[in-house]
Amino acid sequence: MVTASVTWKGAEEFEAVMPSGNHVTFDGESRKGPGPMEALLGALGACTAVDVVSILKKKRQNLLGLEISVSGERAPEPPKVWTKIEMLYRITGDVDEKAARDAIELSKNKYCSVSAMLEKTAKLTYSVQIVKA
């Protein structure tokens, strides 16, 4: 079992020490760090980005850049879970669109554990923009 440790620093500021030893500040009031729910959007983007880059490299695609915009809507009542998340993948390079979509689908449906968890409450959709270099 891995463990994160969270310490209250005052107001709505908390410092988390992740199992890797990295420190992350979470905050709701003074914006010294992301809020926990917005951190999930970033975690989803990072999780799928790792997969997509790895898969496209294995497919020998000429990937020069990847940016993922992750937008979400939350339920109006507590616990205000994410109910809708849209991801826009901006892929730069000489990348085949089918290869890109296949990589995204593999990430979404098989490899990205953050996606798998969020799909329990949210509808996840995506679109792709390919910018040729």
* pLDDT per position as a tens digit, 57-105: 999 999 999 999 999 999 999 999 999 999 999 999 999 999 999 999 9
Give 7-29 pLDDT, tens digit per residue.
999 999 999 999 999 999 999 87
The answer to whether the peptide bond before residue 79 is cis (omega within 30 degrees of 0) is yes
**Homologous superfamily assigned to 36-131:** K homology (KH) domain (3.30.300.20)
Cα pseudo-dihedral 37, 40, 42, 45, rounded to 10: -140
Asked whether 61 and 102 are in contact (CB, 8 A), the reply is: no
Asked if pLDDT for residue 30 goes beyond 80, the answer is no
pLDDT attached to residue 28 = 81
Q: Is residue 54 exposed (0-12), middle (13-18) or buried (19+ Cβ within 10 Å)? A: middle
- 105-130 burial by CB neighbour count: b if 16+ within 10 A, else e? ebbbeebbebbeebeeebebebeeeb
Choose among 131, 34, 130, 41: nearest CA to 86. Answer: 41
pLDDT at residue 79 in the model? 96
Using 50, 70 and 90 to split pLDDT, how confident is the model at 43?
A: very high
> What would the mean pLDDT of 46-64 be, rounded to a whole number?
98
